[in-house]
Structure 1
Amino acid sequence: MSEPVARLAADETAPLAGNALALPRSVAGLDAVQRAHLAAHALAEAAPTLSARSVTTRGQRVALGAVAVALVVALVAAPQQALTVAVGMLSAVYLAALIYRGLLFYQGIRGGQVIRVSDEQARSLHVDDLPVYTVLIPVLHEPLMSVLVANLKRLEYPADRLDIRLLVEADDTITRAALEGLELDAYFTVVDIPPSQPRTKPKACNFGLGEARGGLVTIYDAEDRPEPLQLRRAAYALGHLGPEVACIQAQLAFYNSRQNLLTRWFALDYGAWFHYLLPGLEALRAPIPLGGTSNHFRAEVLYGIGGWDPWNVTEDADLGLRLHRLGYQVEVLESVTWEEANSDGINWIRQRSRWYKGYLQTLLVHLRAGGPVPTRGGFASWAGLLLFVGGTPLLAALNGFQWGLTIAWALTRSEVIAGWFPPTVYYVAMISAVLGNGLVIYFNVLTARAMGRPDLMWAALLSPGYWFLMWLAALKAFVQLILKPSYWEKTAHGLDEGDHAD
């Protein structure tokens, strides 16, 4: 048992006390149905405080209900004053989240730490010194399996050290038809997952871990094109970093970013994330919400913390916060995995609303009494959780709120709306709207420059259009959090128009 997990197990106040190893290393003797149950429920049964299987705890429901009642009473008793206070509080939260994001950019611009492994270093490891590497590929309704397999075969890693596991739902006829006739090398294993709820990517990954052979584990999505040396770079880095580094996150970029305006916005989004925000979080030693692919883990740590939460639709972000809570570190690796950027607006909103919903799930999980932040969190944990994880969907939702009030006042010059903005609230809101949004556009311009992509400059200047899509996705996320919290909306792949490799 690793030292951080051992410390946690000895802590009677911690959610995992007495059951630190929530996900067993071996599933020998279990049939597929039992393994599926374990994959779906092991974390929730061992540490319910850490799982999103229950969206809220009783205490959280009581607290949220009390806030709702207080708001209704205030609106009835003194509507103008209540709305003024509400607008002021929302404006303050918005400004705080913007300031925190600006701090992250500042830290990133200063040169946040990124792990660099040269080609020579990566190839210097003798085959006998390379660990078995498990690569988990959760797939659902994927017709382009031949492309995926071809991309994986480009990985420069010894065949006898590879354990690539294609995780396929047993009733997924589309993926199975695409697999027929493909010549799979011996290191490929097709893993059949019995249909059961929740039908999510993290549950499939937990199931795939059951018979995994690797000392290191990573995940790729079906459309991913990892650079061939990525596994060797990760193995070298984790072999030379201390045991406190449990995971290294490779960088993500898009091969079709020039397809249309939406893919250019998406490329700027990811560029800011990996050039500035992640290095900024790392510099502040704040929790890092992992991306959904190209995370490279030490296997013993992954088992020791219970694997992924199958009920959280951004299981990667949740896992990053859980690692932070247990005292582990996440580093960023200079190695690129190329993905397909969403080029269709409806498909993009489906994907982004799932991400926002998962961030809200993660916020609720990590704010619970006895949960990660209340139990052990310092300032970095609180700021990262509230202002970044929670602030990301909240900023997107509040943008529409601010625009709506601004447009309504400009059209009507309403004294009622003006009354909600006494001088203090007005200046906070004005700074947020003008300076804050202006800085975000400026950060996007910086990102385009850092990426060496002058063609993205005009997309950066048109960023408010992207924010409108974010607002729609945030509204959908809040609704789905209530109605369908663990529903996983599938992102369609193969929408790129040919090869737009950057």
Structure 2
Amino acid sequence: MAREERGVAPRVGVTATAFAADEIPPPLSQAAEGAHVTFGRWQRTTVAAMLLGILVLGVLSPDHLFWGLLGVFYSVFVAGAAIRLAAILTPHRKWACPPLVDQDLPHYTLIVPLYREAEVASELVANLARLDYHRDRLQALIVLEADDLATRSAFHALDLPAFIQVLVAPPGEPRTKPRACNIALELAKGTLVVIYDAEDAPDPLQLREAAARFASEPADLACLQAPLRIETPRHLAFIAEQFRLEYAALFQVLLPAYARWGLPFPLGGTSNHFKIEALRAVGGWDAYNVTEDADIGFRLASAGYRLDVIERPTLETAPTSLDQWGPQRARWIKGHLQTLSVHARGETRRQPRALLALIMTLGVPIAASNLHAPAMLIAGVGVAVNWMADGELSVTLADLTLYMFGWSVSAACAAIGLRRSGEQPRFLHLFGMVGYWMMWIFASPRAVWQFFFAPHQWDKTTHAPRTGRPTP
């Protein structure tokens, strides 16, 4: 049972809630295979054998090792480009569902897990208050951590709408976003549930669109992903512009194509709309996976449910510096590795379509993006050494054609994504994608290290209010 937190009087419209140690809601049943285990037995054996083989080949025949690794990179690079090209050529499907009248709207629960987000508290509340949904059918659960006194104070200082309730999660491990979501899920009253993040500004009509889609679709539809859009940076910021291109390609081109092909896909970290019975049927989120969004999509698919996308977007801000981008990207890579490991030994591997989707949506992108920088650096060194030796550039036409194909398809995918969202691509930034891919070398080693030695560590992404962001 929840009890009112003592020591701080709730303001009008607020229920400040905490859980005593003996009042923690019973945890949802965890999947038999989860990210609390890094590798299964056969996976440990396979990885050890691969590493041993690479080591032996590096000692006995380094040339063969070099060309073998380069071949792997080119293979996944071409595969990634081919997937994007197929997605570009897939017609974009728009749904026209009749809207539900107010009396037919289902009850909706918004779950917003926060940690150290005092600066954006008032902005978040304003964004949630703009949602066009019947208030007596709306429940927002903002989940805070017990030691986050600044954010707790920030919410207590606000005059919150009556539909917003503040929860304080009990101390416990792992201290992750999915654990907080599971705590809120136990108290959710809606038949539909959506996840939002601190910086989110969802379209006011997004809940209505999702409710109408669920009402018009077969019962196996369990989740709808709203597109995430990066707000156009107010000043020149390379990382933010590249983030914008990356999100446009993913949420406007790739995910709609996966849905059109009938394949499961890794969800975005926010704006996932769920049927609550499907979510509870698979045990909620994996509290040990640091990209729980990617994991839950495949667990729903393994249980026989279907995923799709909607049109109404959620606006987000992007990191603008390397010290913001690096830890976040490393967490994403680590979480995707966790998801690959978990589902490669779980039910997904027994379902051909789901396994294909896992390889296409996680395996190929992770391999291509993380091998890109080292492969290009090694190739660049090789070209430089040959040029210094004989004064000639040793770049073959085949290599150049392959690279141009990959970049052109990626640039086209991002440009089409921006156009679908009503924006115009800035071609200078499309050329900057080549440099952006090289930046992954700053995140990949950290991700791999943490995957083995700190798998459940959550690297926090710092958010600033939109009104406080620097201007030109």
Q: If the TM-score is normalised by the length of the shorter chain, which range does it land in? A: 0.7 to 0.9
Q: Following the alignment from structure 2 to structure 1, what is the Cα–Cα distance between the partners of residues 388 and 334? A: 36
SS of aligned partner of 2:142: strand
Given the alignment, which residue of 45, 54, 65 partners 1:62? 45
Q: Residue in 2 aligned with 1:401?
A: 374
Distance 2:148 2:136 in 1: 29
Residue number among 411, 414, 421 corresponding to 1:444 in the alignment: 414
Moved more, 433-442 or 53-62: 433-442
Aligned residue for 1:491, secondary structure, equals coil
Segment drifting more, 184-193 vs 56-65? 184-193
- Whether the 8 Å CA contact 2:419–2:425 is kept in 1: the answer is no
Once the two structures are TM-superposed, the CA of residue 497 in structure 1 deviates from its matched residue by 6.2
1:475 Cα deviation from its structure 2 partner:
3.0
After superposition, the Cα gap between the structure-2 partners of 1:485 and 1:35, relative to the gap in structure 1 and judged at 3 Å, is: farther
**Residue of structure 2 equivalent to 1:133:** 108
**CA RMSD, aligned part only?**
2.7
Instruction: Tell me if the contact between 1:115 and 1:332 (Cα under 8 Å) persists in the aligned partners.
Output: no
Mapped partners of 2:397, 2:45: distance in 1? 34
Provide the C-alpha distance between the structure 2 equivalents of 1:394 and 1:497, rounded to a whole number of angstroms.
38
- Give the 3-state SS of the residue equivalent to 1:393 in structure 2: helix
Does residue 200 in structure 1 map to residue 171 in structure 2? no
2:315 equivalent among 329, 338, 346? 338
Alignment of 1:418-497 (within 5 A): 430-454=400-424, 456-494=426-464, 496=466
Over 3 Å counting, the alpha-carbon distance change for 1:116 and 1:335 in structure 2 is: farther
Residue 71 (structure 1) aligned with residue 51 (structure 2): no
Amino acid at match of 1:291: G
Q: Which moved more, 1:444-453 or 1:302-311?
A: 444-453
Letter in 2 for 1:294: S
Amino acid at match of 2:407: N
Deviation at 1:470, TM superposition (A): 3.0
What are the Cα deviations for residues 436-486 of structure 1, in whole angstroms up to 9, with x where unaligned? 123223333333444443362221122112212233223322222122111
Could you say what secondary structure the match of 2:67 adopts?
helix
Match of 1:329 in 2: 306
Partner AA of 1:480 in structure 2: Q
- Matched residue type, 2:85: G
- Which of 218, 231, 238 lines up with 2:214 in the alignment? 238
Task: Give the 3 Å change call, closer, same or farther, for CA 263–282 of structure 1 in structure 2.
Answer: same
Deviation at 1:399, TM superposition (A): 0.9
381-390 or 188-197, which deviates more: 381-390
| Residue identity opposite 1:408 in structure 2 | V
Residue 48 (structure 1) aligned with residue 42 (structure 2): no
CA distance in 1, matches of 2:268, 2:375: 29
Q: Are positions 1:386 and 2:356 aligned together?
A: no
Distance in 1, matches of 2:55 and 2:126, equals 58
- SS of residue matched to 1:398: helix
Are residues 228 and 452 of structure 1, via their aligned partners in 2, closer, same or farther at CA, if it must alter by over 3 Å?
A: closer
Given that 1:343 and 1:496 are in contact with CA atoms closer than 8 Å, whether structure 2 keeps it comes out as no
* Structure 1 contact 251–334 (Cα < 8 Å) conserved: yes
Pair 457,38 (structure 1): closer, same or farther in 2 beyond 3 Å? farther
Amino acid at match of 2:29: A
Unaligned runs of 5+ in 1: 1-29
Deviations for 1:372-429, whole angstroms, at most 9, x for unmatched residues? 2222x21x3233212321222221111112211221112101999xxxx9x9xx8875
- Cα 1:322–1:335 change in 2 (3 A) is same
Q: TM-score, normalised by structure 1?
A: 0.83
Please, what TM-score do these two structures have when normalized by structure 2? 0.88
- Pair 1:361 & 2:331 matched: no
Residue 91 of structure 1: CA displacement? 2.6
Partner of 1:303: 280
Contact 1:290 1:316 in 2 (8 A): yes
Report SS of the residue matched to 1:166.
strand
| Count of equivalent residues | 448
Cα contact 1:249–1:294 (8 A) shared by 2: yes
Q: Residues 448, 154 of structure 1: CA spacing in aligned structure 2 closer, same or farther, 3 A cutoff?
A: closer
Note the alpha carbon deviations across 1:131-179, whole angstroms, 9 max, x for none.
2111101010111211111111111112211111110111111211211
- Structure 2 CA distance, aligned partners of 1:339 and 1:402? 32
Pick aligned residue for 1:229 from 205, 208, 211: 205
Q: Distance in 1 between matches of 2:19 and 2:32?
A: 24
Correspondence for 1:412:
385
Tell me the amino acid that sits aligned with residue 133 of structure 1: Y
Retained in 2: the 8 A contact 1:42–1:306? yes
Aligned to 1:254: 230
* Secondary structure at 1:366 match in 2: helix
- Does 306-315 or 221-230 show the bigger shift? 221-230
Q: Which residue of 2 aligns with 1:21?
A: none
Q: 1:461 to 1:306 in 2, by over 3 A?
A: same
Within 1, Cα distance between the matches of 2:293 and 2:470?
28
SS of match in other structure, 1:167: strand
Q: CA deviation at 1:336?
A: 1.2
CA shift in 2, pair 1:432/1:495, >3 Å: farther
SS at structure 2 position matched to 1:390: helix
For 1:48 and 1:177, locate their aligned partners in 2 and report how far apart those are by CA, in whole Å. 39
Residues 34 and 81 of structure 1, relative CA distance in 2, 3 Å threshold: farther
Q: What does residue 94 of structure 1 align with?
A: 77
Following the alignment from structure 1 to structure 2, what is the Cα–Cα distance between the partners of residues 162 and 443?
37
Tell me which residue corresponds to 1:115.
95
CA distance in 1, matches of 2:467, 2:384: 42
| Cα distance, 1:229–1:86 mapped onto 2, change above 3 Å | closer
**Superposition deviation, residue 37 in structure 1:** 8.3
* Correspondence for 2:64: 81
How far off its partner does 1:224 sit?
1.0
d(CA) in 2 for partners of 1:266 and 1:31?
A: 38
**What's the CA shift for 1:493?**
0.5
Q: Matched residues in 2 for 1:278 and 1:461: separation?
A: 23
